Amino acid sequence: MRIMRKLSAFLTAILLFTCFSAFSESDAFTEVYTYNYDYWEDLRESPNAYKVKTVIYSSTLGLDKPMQRPQSLFVKGDDMYVADTGNNRVLKLTLENGEFILDSIIDRVNGADVPTLSAPSDISVDNDGNIYIADKNNNRVVVMDSELNYVKQFTKPADSTFDQDASFLPNRIVTDSVGRLYVLADNVNKGLAKFEADTTFSGFIGANKVTVSMFEYIWKYYFLSDEQRAKSENAVPTRYENMYIDEEGFIYATNTVFSEYDLKWDNANPIRRINGIGDDILIKNDRYPPIGDYRWVDGTNNVNLGPSKFSDITVLEDDIYVAFDRTRGRLFGYDSQGVMLWAFGTRGNYEGAFNAGAGVSIEHMGRDLFCLDQTSSSITVFTPTEYGNLIYDANNAYVRGDYDGSADMWREALKYNANYNMAFRGIGRSLLRQSEYSEAMRYFKMAHDRINYGRAFRLYRKEWVEANIGWVIGILAAIIVFFVGRGLLKKMKFEVAMYERDHIVK
């Protein structure tokens, strides 16, 4: 009976053989804190790249009333701003002797028509020290100088591209080096609203393109009645969830509305790097695009939670970016080429875990990461471990052009984590530069890097041919001589036979 079962299971397996997908969702994994994916999309536990340095609560700051649903963080220099949305104020913390202390509470704008704040949702500070606050329920982005005096405000654009019936609800803001302001507003799906420094609205950038497939079009316009068409869902571009502007002025934006199908074929682009004209220029040189988790089934209770949804993003040195997945409460780090450096985090109510449901806002100062948990109103400060620092250092050395130094650091990182593909690739690159081709090939093979392997192999092959050309040609010549000689011999024998036949018969 067991054999029968096995046989029928085997036959079913064959029947399903064609239905394999590249991203298998059925494979469950057990919960690990820090991990990375290997070439086969298998989860590989890794040493911790980050550890909790401290957790900042309302009580540690000595606040008069505890933070209520704080929505966003902003870091400038040694100062950290927290949008304490529920209490209609912004907290300014400052770093002193390695600890954050409360510097001031901003709840008024001196000299403004409406001096109070109402549900501030985000903060940004420009290079001149002007503080921008997305004052959501006052329908404005208000700007004040460092002395908290009113400077200017950005209000609903009187422009036909902006829906005049909808109110202006700025949710996330960033400012660039020349004082331009980019706003992600609620109920606007045209992309980022761009304002010039003189508060004039200059249009939307980076809107999601709407694509309608041929079949969808034919179905909608030839088979549905007018009423059905009106009822069917309109194809609307999705809204970004959060953004961050890097030092070069590129905006990293996260997008959480997409179909799982698009994600698998790299059409969803959950993380984008938007340039001045609104194009996505994020580099994706790894085997898979940066989409967070590849495996979506939670190991402990076998539930498919679906794809990662990034609620915030921040950009560190050397274009390394870190995004927070609110589905599972995890942080994902990627390098400038889109290769996953590490992933860590989990959901829960202890240090290093997040109540991720409502979303977590992240920021960074140097290599330290701050995670503002909206539900528990606390800021967790993570600092890289030795292993985490090694990854950054090796990456930085490579970017600076110190390939050999980078390789030494990768060798060091391999001692912590022997499953780290990036390290194998880094060492291979350095060996390739030192003309150690066969060794480089070995490392590239371990990293599954076929392009670099090809490069190393081409040089290795050239070297090999140059060293062995003598006997290779010799053997080839011997083979040719052998066959030609045999042919000649046969021909001669044949001619002799013909001659003999002709003469003997006659």
Partner 1 sequence: MNATTSLNSSAEYKERGASGKRYFESLKYAKHVITHPFDGFWDLVHEHRGSVAAGTTFLVLFLITYVAKLMFTNFQFINAPLQYINVFEQCGSLLIPFLVLCLANWSLTTLFDGKGRFKDIYMAMCYALVPYIIIQLPLIIISNIITFDEASFYNVLMSFSVIWSVFLAFVGLMEVHDYGPARTVIFLLFTMLGACIIIFLVLVFFSLLSDAAGFFVSLYREIAFRLN
Q: Determine the Cα–Cα distance for residues 406 and 390; give it in Å rounded to an integer.
A: 9
Please check whether residue 136 is in contact with residue 143, taking contact to mean a CB–CB distance below 8 angstroms: no
Q: Determine the Cα–Cα distance for residues 75 and 363; give it in Å rounded to an integer.
A: 7
Q: Please give the angle made by the CA atoms of 18, 21 and 26, to the nearest 5 degrees.
A: 110
**Shortest distance, position 461 Cβ to partner 1, whole Å:** 7
Q: Burial level of 23, CB count in 10 A (0-12/13-18/19+)?
A: middle
Q: Determine the Cα–Cα distance for residues 337 and 125; give it in Å rounded to an integer.
A: 29
**Shortest distance, position 445 Cβ to partner 1, whole Å:** 6
Residue 17 or 223 with smaller CB distance to partner 1: 17
Q: List Cβ neighbours of 184 (8 Å cut-off, separation of 6 or more).
A: 170, 171, 172, 173, 192, 193, 239, 240, 242, 243, 253
Residue 39 or 499 with smaller CB distance to partner 1: 39
**Shortest distance, position 102 Cβ to partner 1, whole Å:** 54
Q: Determine the Cα–Cα distance for residues 310 and 330; give it in Å rounded to an integer.
A: 9
Residue 40 or 261 with smaller CB distance to partner 1: 40
**Shortest distance, position 465 Cβ to partner 1, whole Å:** 10
Residue 41 or 408 with smaller CB distance to partner 1: 41
Alpha carbon dihedral 155, 159, 163, 165, in 10-degree steps, equals 70
Q: Are strands 170-175 and 150-154 parallel, antiparallel or unpaired?
A: unpaired
DSSP reduced 3-state for 240: strand
**Shortest distance, position 390 Cβ to partner 1, whole Å:** 27
**Shortest distance, position 127 Cβ to partner 1, whole Å:** 46
Tokens of 211: 């694509």
One-letter amino acid at 389 equals: N
Q: Determine the Cα–Cα distance for residues 60 and 100; give it in Å rounded to an integer.
A: 9
Residue 7 or 469 with smaller CB distance to partner 1: 7
Q: Of 124, 63, 123, which Cα lies nearest the Cα of 90? A: 123
What strands lie across the sheet with 368-373, from one edge to the other? 50-56, 378-384, 368-373, 360-365
**Shortest distance, position 506 Cβ to partner 1, whole Å:** 22
Residue 20 or 261 with smaller CB distance to partner 1: 20
**Shortest distance, position 282 Cβ to partner 1, whole Å:** 24
**Shortest distance, position 361 Cβ to partner 1, whole Å:** 39
Residue 416 or 457 with smaller CB distance to partner 1: 457
Please check whether residue 406 is in contact with residue 398, taking contact to mean a CB–CB distance below 8 angstroms: yes
Residue 51 or 287 with smaller CB distance to partner 1: 287
Q: List Cβ neighbours of 350 (8 Å cut-off, separation of 6 or more).
A: none
**Shortest distance, position 367 Cβ to partner 1, whole Å:** 34
Residue 5 or 209 with smaller CB distance to partner 1: 5
Q: Determine the Cα–Cα distance for residues 486 and 348; give it in Å rounded to an integer.
A: 82
Q: Which residues face 184 on adjacent strands?
A: 172
Binding site for partner 1 (CB under 8 A): 1, 4-5, 7-8, 10-15, 17, 39-40, 445, 448, 450-451, 453-455, 457-458, 461
**Shortest distance, position 450 Cβ to partner 1, whole Å:** 4
User: For residue 214, what is the enclosing H or E element?
Assistant: helix 214-218
Residue 415 or 461 with smaller CB distance to partner 1: 461
Q: Which residues face 54 on adjacent strands?
A: 381
**Shortest distance, position 285 Cβ to partner 1, whole Å:** 15
Residue 65 or 461 with smaller CB distance to partner 1: 461
Residue 17 or 222 with smaller CB distance to partner 1: 17
Q: Give me the DSSP letters along 347-392.
A: BSSSTT-B-GGG-EEEEEETTEEEEEETTTTEEEEEEE-HHHHHHH
